[in-house]
Structure 1
């Protein structure tokens, strides 16, 4: 088995025909100039040691060296071992509230950044689980589909902000329904966990019903509440409005508080748990205990080869050819001349 890591470098092979054409042009040009200078047979007698074959040999060695260098850049890999890999894990979806209330700074640095920190910490302790990420406020938006690529997931996680969804408000049921319909495959008998991170300000009455429907589909919901009971104002500096705070229709500054009760009800109705998100250690430990107790399912079985790079061989051959090319002079080689292999002696 083999694979080519950087196939794009094969485009450099266009250099080969270009060099061949240049070489042929130079040879024709030399012949033409020699005819203008004098008789060719006389010129050959004046330079009896000049080889006709050596220039062809030098350009051939050079072209072969370039080909080996290009192959080295492509980095061919050979498979030395094949093994069957069975992965077991849980399907986990993180639904993160990105409404404006999540900009409140009653927890540092603010509720949204705290939520992203929590999810990042949870991803770091994942094993072979598949994860997905949803952003929601007045509607739900898929950010990362189900994947095992944690580095890409964390990259998209950091880019989440309230401006990514135009409709404001907090509709937790939208996030639950999106996870149930688009993220979790109902036919698969995998363990499914939906982690909702929010301040609990739900503007819909459908969240409890949605969580009960999720439970019937085998989805366990964990809710994590961020923010304080005392609450805080919503600074809009991250939205480009420095010194401004969110105000209601009457012009009063809005104070947003964490609504723990609704989050507890959502978790309880689905057979899950509620966790205080202000304590990072408590969140990570509680989620770890929950996942340890949750049955893991085999969701992927594939054959993988242990590929090893082979570029060094081609690089070595290329340098070797370039090295010996230095010793190829355009005059005839004495021992080859005696053998007259290339009909150089007439």
Structure 2
């Protein structure tokens, strides 16, 4: 690290080009004056000690001296300094729903894959903000603590699948509770929790936890992935759809976006609801 305390003294360096111009002018004037009294071949006999080297050496010495004098006056300092900097950014935790209903393909390629694409796009637009990842279905599990390592975040994000959590459901309440442990109490950064889900909350306690989180300064934003019309849940083997999920009565399950739940959570969480319908 370099520090210049008195940069105004750099103006003294302008003396050097002035001296060079003055030297050229005086040398030319002296040469013209000498030629008035003798021919060029006679000057070496009349002035045997005449030399161009000495005046040039004197000019260079004076210029270097001025340069070092200026460096001394500006007080150049070099070294390192340890300084504590308080970061004021945003700590964002993404809670991604990985329940079986997220396999529905009413949004191509699927709700889960579209959610991963969306979070990746958001991460790509971040600069110095910190991010964390949570996956949840019937329970919530931490995937990545708060970090600025965006590459690791995207790697963990792409590895999320519906087999990470054995118990099925949509434990939004538990995801909110887990997210609260991600944030540091002494941080000055804004706290944001982004919940990405189809909104099928089977616990019913999400609103209470969202309200408590908002009281702790956490803003909750919900993103609804899916359509109101809904879609079936494919069961694949080796990438090929073999059948569709059925209920206990043998009827094909149709899963739909429950935007009302997500909207209520966002409302008490001082955030907003964003619906993701696009199939692009």
- The TM-score with structure 2 as length reference comes to 0.68
Unmatched segments (≥5 aa) in structure 1: 2-79, 282-346
Give the 3 Å change call, closer, same or farther, for CA 280–153 of structure 1 in structure 2.
farther
Aligned to 1:274: 273
CA distance in 2, matches of 1:184, 1:280: 34
- Give yes or no for contact 1:186–1:217 (8 Å, CA) kept in 2: no
Give the whole-Å Cα distance in 2 for the aligned partners of 1:272 and 1:239: 40
Which residue in the other structure is 1:226 paired with?
225
Normalising to structure 1: TM-score of the pair? 0.55
Structure number with the higher helix fraction is 1
Contact 2:108 2:279 in 1 (8 A): no
Q: Which runs of 5+ in 2 are unaligned?
A: 2-77
Superposition pairs of residues 252-271 of structure 1, within 5 angstroms: 252-271=251-270
Return the structure number with greater relative CO, CA threshold 8 A, min gap 6. Answer: 1
* CA displacement 1:287-313 (0-9 Å, x = unmatched): xxxxxxxxxxxxxxxxxxxxxxxxxxx
C-alpha displacement at 1:225, in angstroms? 0.3
Provide the C-alpha distance between the structure 1 equivalents of 2:187 and 2:213, rounded to a whole number of angstroms.
15
Q: Which residue in the other structure is 1:118 paired with? A: 118
Structure with greater Cα Rg: 2
Shift of 1:116: 0.3
Is the counterpart of residue 159 in structure 1 residue 149 in structure 2? no
Structural RMSD (CA): 2.2
Which aligned pairs between 1:110-189 and structure 2 lie closer than 5 A? 110-180=110-180, 182-189=181-188
For each residue in 1:253-303, what CA deviation from the matched residue of structure 2 results, as whole angstroms up to 9, or x when unmatched? 10000000110000000111111123499xxxxxxxxxxxxxxxxxxxxxx
Give the aligned partner of residue 193 of structure 2. Answer: 194
Give CA deviations for 1:74-109 in whole Å, capped at 9, x if unaligned. xxxxxx974768543111000000000000000010
> In 2 relative to 1, CA 269–133 (structure 1 residues): closer, same or farther, beyond 3 Å?
same
Separation of aligned partners in 2, 1:111 and 1:216 = 31
Does the CA contact (< 8 Å) of 1:98 and 1:162 recur in 2?
A: yes
1:189: Cα distance to partner? 3.5
Structure 2 residue aligned with 1:109 = 109
Cα displacement (A) at 1:127: 1.2
| 1:205-252 Cα distance to aligned partner (Å, 9 max, x none) | 100001000001100000000000000000011687841211111111
Q: Determine the structure 1 residue equivalent to 2:245.
A: 246
